[in-house]
Amino acid sequence: MNILKGTIEKLTVSGSLTLIGIKVNTTDMSAIVIDTPKTAPFLKAGNTITVVFKETEVIIGKGNTDEISLRNKFKGTIELLESKELLSKLTINTNVGKISSIITTNAVKQLKLKLGTAVTAMVKTNEILISE
């Protein structure tokens, strides 16, 4: 699991959903949850929260990722790369901390990933979990 600490910056409520704007260090993130400030009182601007997402939900991109719909993007370099026959685990050093990703070993080969490669780790808004 990837676990980060962040601060709630903004809340947008629509029915039983809340889009949460989060600041982790100097990086903006977003999460969408099936909760509102009424059902989860910790959803309040200024509150510190824990941001969690699975390694298998981290998408790796190389080069320009500006025109991709994913909003949670973390630029960094590959610090650790453990490849097995089918899957590989990458640890990326980013400005929000170390992010782990598990992708196919075929993808590692296709992208020509190696230690020190500059990449962007990306996570869909609906794959982010939060807690107090």
DSSP state, residue 67 = T
Tokens, residue 2? 């990837």
> What confidence score (pLDDT) does residue 57 get?
97
Question: What is the Cα–Cα distance from 101 to 111, expressed in whole angstroms?
Answer: 14
**What is the average pLDDT score of the chain?**
96
- Three-class SS state of 98: strand
pLDDT band at 120, cuts 50/70/90?
very high
> What confidence score (pLDDT) does residue 123 get?
97
pLDDT band at 25, cuts 50/70/90?
very high
> For residue 63, what are the contacts with CB-CB under 8 A and spacing of at least 6?
none
Question: What is the Cα–Cα distance from 32 to 14, expressed in whole angstroms?
Answer: 11
Q: Where are the domains of the chain?
A: 2-131
With 0.75 as the threshold, say if the pTM is over it. Answer: yes
Tokens, residue 79? 């610090």
> For residue 14, what are the contacts with CB-CB under 8 A and spacing of at least 6?
none
pLDDT band at 24, cuts 50/70/90?
very high
> What confidence score (pLDDT) does residue 99 get?
97
Tell me the sheet residues that pair with 11. Answer: 20
At position 1, the amino acid (one-letter code) is M
> What confidence score (pLDDT) does residue 7 get?
97
List the CATH code of the domain at 2-131. Answer: 2.40.50.100
Each residue of 33-87: pLDDT tens digit?
999 999 999 999 999 999 999 999 999 999 998 899 998 999 999 999 999 999 9
